[in-house]
Amino acid sequence: MWYYFMPTKIYFGEKCVEQNKDVLKSLGKKALILTGKRSSKENGSLDDLLRVLSQIGTDYEIFDEVEENPTFSLIRSVLSEYKEASFDFIIGLGGGSPMDSAKAVAVLMKNRELKVEDLYDVSKYTEALPICAIPTTAGTGSEVTQYSVLTDDQGFKRGFSHPVVTFPKLAFLDPRYTLNMSQSLTRSTGLDALCHAVEGFLSRRATPISDLYAKKSIELIAENLPKVLQKPDELEARANMLLASCLAGMVISQTSTTVAHALGYPLTTFKNIRHGDATAAFLDAIVEQAVLEVPEKVGFVKSVLGEVSAFLKRVGLDVKVPINEEELELWIARVKNAPHLQWTRGSFTEDLIKYLYERVRIH
């Protein structure tokens, strides 16, 4: 048995925001834009958006202090800043962080009595403000997923999702906005997309539809990630990466991520390794562990990428961090209890988890 549900309207292509203003207008008269300090100003996306919003007569406020890896306290500060204001919809403009923040804010502004912690109990809410997602990186796929990953007050990354209301209503994907990503951001976001596609493809939750998207996404990334790293200005390769990222997002909207993500989270929150790099550091293990259960799928991945570790090396991934004993123990315990294990193929024993962390550890 399987089913498919992904309710986001996707508009893809150069100038897609401007060319589809009426769709944006349909979301309401007043928007709250969540974005970061710099990149949406530098890549032209914020200018485009503001111009279109004034053309259609939609009011807006801009909160531009969303940082990488948004925390509970960031979400609280958005809510307190706009305690008196009311908005018809929320726009997340930027990478995964503004889009994930938009999902949290959309739920909490619609349900003012709830606290950030309540996002994790879906029995507490059935509605959210409409969300419009405009990605400016090619990796998270957050524009087409119900997931939002926030860092809790203890410093751990924790994802929440609602099966319906946290999906963006609208996603605008304009590849021009991804052109001026730095090389390291291009790599880490591209690898995040690759992890979504491969993890979802090998997941016990994979479906015939998610597999179609996953295969296409893996093929696009294998061909285009090396290209955009070498020639960052090539719009066609950038567009292919943006499509791959969106497809991979649609994959995990059905399958969710697997244990590579759980393994990577502490490297990001405690060691400042970018999310995609942190996750990809464990991707080869996901593939090797799946070989007994789904050999033909592993065969497909290797036929497209070659050996995963060789591909990662080729695109320049190199993750090494100091980890002390106390951290190691705590992280292993977290991963052992991660829900991701239920649908990750193979057997991620305590010994294997420890070995994988030892591999990225500087001694």
The contact pattern for Fe ion, residues 246-275, with x = CB under 5 A and - = no contact, is ------------------------------
In sequence order, what DSSP letters do the residues of 223-266 get, joined into one string? Answer: HHHHHHHH-TT-HHHHHHHHHHHHHHHHHHHHH---HHHHHHHH
Of 27 and 138, which has the nearer Cβ to Fe ion?
138
Q: Which residue is at the shortest CB distance from Fe ion?
A: 192
Query: Structure tokens of 287?
Result: 């593939």
Q: Is the dihedral of CA 303, 307, 312, 315 positive or negative?
A: negative
100 binds Fe ion (CB under 5 A): no
Q: How many CB atoms lie within 10 A of CB 121?
A: 10
143 binds Fe ion (CB under 5 A): no
Q: CB of residue 141 vs Fe ion: minimum separation in angstroms?
A: 8
Of 74 and 191, which has the nearer Cβ to Fe ion?
191
Q: CB of residue 196 vs Fe ion: minimum separation in angstroms?
A: 6
Of 295 and 339, which has the nearer Cβ to Fe ion?
339
- 29: nearest Cα among 87, 85, 108: 87
Q: CB of residue 257 vs Fe ion: minimum separation in angstroms?
A: 6
Of residues 298-357, those binding Fe ion (CB under 5 A) = none
192 binds Fe ion (CB under 5 A): yes
* CA-only gyration radius of the chain, Å: 19
Q: CB of residue 286 vs Fe ion: minimum separation in angstroms?
A: 13
Q: CB of residue 127 vs Fe ion: minimum separation in angstroms?
A: 26
Of 130 and 249, which has the nearer Cβ to Fe ion?
249
Q: Is the dihedral of CA 43, 49, 54, 59 positive or negative?
A: negative
For residue 275, give the amino acid letter.
H
Q: CB of residue 248 vs Fe ion: minimum separation in angstroms?
A: 9
For residue 236, give the amino acid letter.
E
- 89: nearest Cα among 16, 25, 143: 25
Q: CB of residue 25 vs Fe ion: minimum separation in angstroms?
A: 32
**Quick one: which segment of 4-12, 184-192, 227-235, 265-273 binds Fe ion (CB under 5 A)?**
184-192
**Quick one: which segment of 186-194, 206-214, 265-273, 288-296 binds Fe ion (CB under 5 A)?**
186-194
The contact pattern for Fe ion, residues 38-67, with x = CB under 5 A and - = no contact, is ------------------------------
Number of residues engaging Fe ion in binding (CB under 5 A) = 1
Q: CB of residue 125 vs Fe ion: minimum separation in angstroms?
A: 24
**3-state secondary structure at position 189:** helix
- Helical ranges in the chain per DSSP H: 16-19, 21-25, 39-42, 45-55, 72-81, 96-110, 183-202, 208-230, 235-255, 259-271, 275-280, 283-290, 295-305, 308-314, 325-336, 350-359
**Quick one: which segment of 10-18, 124-132, 150-158, 189-197 binds Fe ion (CB under 5 A)?**
189-197
Q: CB of residue 346 vs Fe ion: minimum separation in angstroms?
A: 20
Of residues 221-250, those binding Fe ion (CB under 5 A) = none
**Quick one: which segment of 31-39, 191-199, 215-223, 300-308 binds Fe ion (CB under 5 A)?**
191-199
258 phi and psi angles, rounded to 5 deg: -115, -160
Identify the DSSP state of 294: -
106 vs 132: CA distance, rounded Å: 10
- Which residues of this protein are in contact with Fe ion, per CB under 5 A? 192
